[in-house]
Amino acid sequence: MEAKKTVLISGGAGYIGSHTAVELIGAGYDVVVIDNLSNSEEASVEGVRRITGRDIPFEIVDTCDMAALRSVFAKYDFDTVIHFAAFKAVGESVAEPLKYYANNLVSFMNIVEMMKEFGRPNVLFSSSATVYGDAETLPVTELTPRKPATSPYGNTKQMAEDILRDCCAAYAGLYGIALRYFNPVGAHPSALIGELPRGVPNNLVPFVTQTAAGVRECLSIFGDDYDTPDGTCLRDYIDIVDLACAHVAAVRRMTEGKMEGKFEIFNVGTGHPVSVLELVTTFEKVNGLKLNYRMAPRRAGDVPAVWADTSRANEVLGWKAECSLEDTLRSAWEWEKRVRGL
Ligand code: UD1
């Protein structure tokens, strides 16, 4: 029997969800997008439609609303859900922990509950390198012990991984994969979709592109006295299209029944550490501009360095990051220019 080819994407109007929708469609899947638009715009679904030439079903649904979610499960026939819908601002989660625990955990448990109720098998969960905290050995493999979370946001990622593991062990028909993303950056080469943070960006690349566009006056580089080659933090910046392709590989593994256990975890990064300063100078070089930046004190909660050992994803998923940092920083700037009408 041919595997069912429809994937429900919760949070599909968001940054990672919209890029994943494009790549899934390119790989021959149908997608259904749900999103409550709390931190995203319907325009990104329109962007996905324009890129793919497909009329994608989209419903404004909050995954915390069990009744609304149940109607989606009743209406569409899919075997696989990718659950992106979540809040993701680390600082805000420290200030408003209940908001994060309620939203991120209830929405995820609702998804799993519906999978069980409707007998749908495959859940792909968006996890994060944040689960490793300040790791003792680098690069981190999937077997590197998780550290106690330093924020409620990080805690929701750890807890959701555990919830999925336990539910897969308990419920016969349920299979799960957690992808631990490193730092997703860049935009689709068409510049029709990209990252659109509301308010002042927390993350580095949107702050860089907004500074280049004149929306922000000056980028602060948080800390130049770390024990790293140039004193700034090291991260693993993964191109958003590469990241989206990792989801396609994981979905394929699930829908083709190739999983070895019931729950699997994969790091999704490039395997290469890049410093904040290196990222900034590369951005300047490839886009031919000067960025206004200054050194600033360390940001609370930042780890000095984290990057991925990607062997498992390379070997088991048959996936590998391909886009260069140069190309991804070009795409990030093209997107910002389009958003600002530059
Ligand atoms: C953070 C979260 C991670 C989450 C990711 C995406 C933690 C510890 N980190 O990663 O879980 O998945 O965001 O939302 O939970 N920087 C500057 N100036 C800025 C902004 C950032 O110098 O204006 C530096 C930071 O100090 C850091 C690097 O840039 O060294 C990357 O920061 P950021 O983009 O915020 O990502 P992370 O903190 O690595």
H/E element, 126: strand 122-128
Name the residue among 128, 132, 81, 130 with its Cα closest to residue 107.
81
Beta bridge partners, 125, equal 83, 178
Q: What is the DSSP string of 74-114?
A: HH---SEEEE------HHHHHH-HHHHIIIIIHHHHHHHHH
Under DSSP, the state recorded for 305 is B
What torsion do the CA atoms of 246, 249, 251, 256 make, to the nearest 10 degrees? -170
- Counting atoms of ligand 1 from 1, which one is nearest the CA of 89? 14
At 255 the pLDDT is 96
Could you tell me how far CA 82 lies from the centroid of its own chain?
Answer: 11
At 34 the pLDDT is 98
Omega within 30 of 0 (cis) for the link into 139: yes
Name the residue among 296, 284, 294, 277 with its Cα closest to residue 332.
284
Which among 90, 224, 325 is the best mutation to test ligand 1's pocket, defined by most ligand atoms within 8 Å of the CB? 90
Name the residue among 219, 239, 105, 114 with its Cα closest to residue 163.
105
Q: Would you say the CB of residue 6 lies under 6 angstroms from ligand 1? A: no
**Token pair belonging to 180:** 């631990």
Phi-psi region of 29 (alpha: psi -120 to 50; beta: other; left: phi over 0): beta
H/E element, 159: helix 152-170
At 1 the pLDDT is 41
List the chain pLDDT tens, one digit each, 342 residues: 454 599 999 999 999 999 999 999 999 999 999 999 999 999 999 999 999 999 999 999 999 999 999 999 999 999 999 999 999 999 999 999 999 999 999 999 999 999 999 999 999 999 999 999 999 999 999 999 999 998 999 999 999 999 999 999 999 999 999 999 999 999 999 999 999 999 999 999 999 999 999 999 999 999 999 999 999 999 999 999 999 999 999 999 999 999 999 999 999 999 999 999 999 999 999 999 999 999 999 999 999 999 999 999 999 999 999 999 999 999 999 999 999 999
Q: Would you say the CB of residue 130 lies under 6 angstroms from ligand 1? A: yes
The CA distance from 70 to 67, in Å, is 5
At 38 the pLDDT is 96
Which residues form the catalytic set? 153
Distance 123 CA to ligand 1 centre (A): 27
Characterize the bridge pairing of strands 293-296 and 219-222: parallel
Residues sharing a CB contact under 8 Å with residue 35, sequence separation 6 or more, in sequence order: 10, 11, 12, 13, 14, 17, 45, 58, 60, 61, 85
Q: Would you say the CB of residue 201 lies under 6 angstroms from ligand 1? A: no
How many CA atoms are closer than 13 Å to the CA of 82, on its beta-carbon side? 32
Q: Would you say the CB of residue 183 lies under 6 angstroms from ligand 1? A: yes
Characterize the bridge pairing of strands 30-35 and 6-10: parallel
Residue 161 phi/psi, 5-degree rounding, is: -60, -45
Distance 231 CA to ligand 1 centre (A): 16
306 contacts 140 by C-beta, under 8 angstroms: yes
Q: Would you say the CB of residue 228 lies under 6 angstroms from ligand 1? A: no
Nearest CA to ligand 1 atom 27: 233
Exposure string (b/e) for 259-286, b if CB count within 10 Å is 16 or more? beebbbbbbbbbbbbbbbbbbbebbbeb
Residues sharing a CB contact under 8 Å with residue 102, sequence separation 6 or more, in sequence order: 64
At 176 the pLDDT is 98
- Counting atoms of ligand 1 from 1, which one is nearest the CA of 153? 15
Q: Would you say the CB of residue 301 lies under 6 angstroms from ligand 1? A: yes
At 4 the pLDDT is 54
